[in-house]
Amino acid sequence: MLIRQLGYRLLISIPVLLCVIALGFVLMMMIPSDPAAIIAGDHATPAALEEIRESLGLNKPMWVQFLLYIERLLQGDMGKSFLNSSDVFSELSRSMEPTAELVIVALLIAIPLGIGMGAAAAWSRGGFIDRLVMALAALGMSAPVFMTGLLLISVVGVHLGWLPVQGRGGPVYTWDGLSHIILPAITVSFIVIGPIARITRTSMLAIINEDFVRTARAKGIGERRVMIAHVLRNALIPTVNVIGLQAGYLLGGVVVTENIFAWPGIGRLAIISITTRDVPMAQGTILFLAISFVMLNIVVDLIGGYLDPRAQRL
């Protein structure tokens, strides 16, 4: 099943990526100006222009251009930015690391906190902690990302003056890097803590009534051990899936957060290039985000299958 599921995911990712590529191509075609003139600059001779058109295949039929476009993409050639004629591909690879770093640190905050909150809520079902956690989760799921970010900036960053609020510092293991990433990572983590806490609580409550839990209790295992080794461990499976399902929201939150904190990642690059009509860069970032999203889903499927052997056999 797992193999089939993976195969299916890979299979539908082909039309998905083709759609994104086609969209990028149409965008390129829709630009009223002549790409060759933009690349050549203001003082190009007609011969030089013709040469660039020839090299880009701009005088060939549309479908040949589309195939050429795909060929260039496969070679990692995504064109050059209209703004500063930097290479789109190398710009993207430069922005990839900060974004990955932000997501990983955010998940390192969100997963333990969310699971812990959900487990505590399930433990005190109906009690004060349960209601508090559920209320916080509802609040977190309704709060716009920019509100969390701006509140953190104005309270922790400006009012208390504890942490820097703009840009990225050095490597994350130095204080400079760590202090820069704390606020944006907390902002991103707020998006997924609520859903993780809710699903952990729900699945723990469902598992508490399973036969194997009763058996474990009957064997005389302590309550704490039953909860952690038997209930929580099995409750983690839906939690992993939920993180996968939330990946879309996570991505949206990352884009907003990067723009608030001037974090030099893909999300910031995407918004800058779209709002300045820098088409090659915009289509590059969108294609890149689509590919990462598809791959993320595949990884989540793999982890889910590893945690839950039933998913492989079915």
Partner 1 sequence: MTELVQPARRVIDMPFLRTLARDPMLLFSILFLVAAIVGMVFAEWLAPYDPLRTSLRFRARLPSAEFLLGTDEQGRDILSRILFGFRLTLLTSIAGLTIGVVTGSFIGLFAAYFRKIDMPLMRLIDIILSFPSILIGLGVASATGAGTLGIILALGISTIGPCARVARSAALGVVSMEYISGAKMVGLGDLQILARYVLPNCISSIIVYATLRFGQLVLLGASLSFLGLGVSPPTPELGVMVSQGRSVLFTAPHVAIIPSVAILLLVLSFNVIGDAVRDALDPRMKV
Binding residues for partner 1 (CB under 8 A):
12-13, 15-16, 19-20, 23, 26-27, 30, 138-139, 141-147, 150-151, 153-154, 158, 198, 202, 247-249, 251-252, 255-256, 259-260, 270-271, 274-275, 277, 279, 282-283, 285-286, 289-290, 293-294, 297
Please state the closest distance from residue 141 (CB atom) to partner 1, in A: 7
For the range 167-174, what are the long-range contacts, defined as Cβ-Cβ under 8 Å and sequence gap of 24 or more?
Answer: 167/261, 167/262, 167/263, 167/264, 168/98, 168/263, 168/264, 172/101, 172/105
Contact 285, 269 (CB under 8 A): yes
Would you say 195 or 305 has its CB closer to partner 1?
Answer: 195
**CB of 15 or CB of 170, closer to partner 1:** 15
Block residue for tokens 């040469």? 51
Nearer to partner 1, 40 or 102 (CB): 102
Residues 182 and 169: beta-carbon distance below 8 Å: no
Nearer to partner 1, 225 or 277 (CB): 277
CB of 59 to partner 1, least distance (A): 25
Smallest distance, Å, CB 185 to partner 1? 18
Q: What is the chain's alpha carbon radius of gyration, rounded to the nearest angstrom?
A: 24
Cα–Cα nearest to 243, from 307, 196, 289: 196
How many angstroms separate the CA atoms of 156 and 216, rounded? 46
Min CB(23)–partner 1 separation in Å: 6
When the beta carbons of 53 and 244 are compared against partner 1, the nearer one is 244
Task: Give the amino acid at 56.
Answer: L
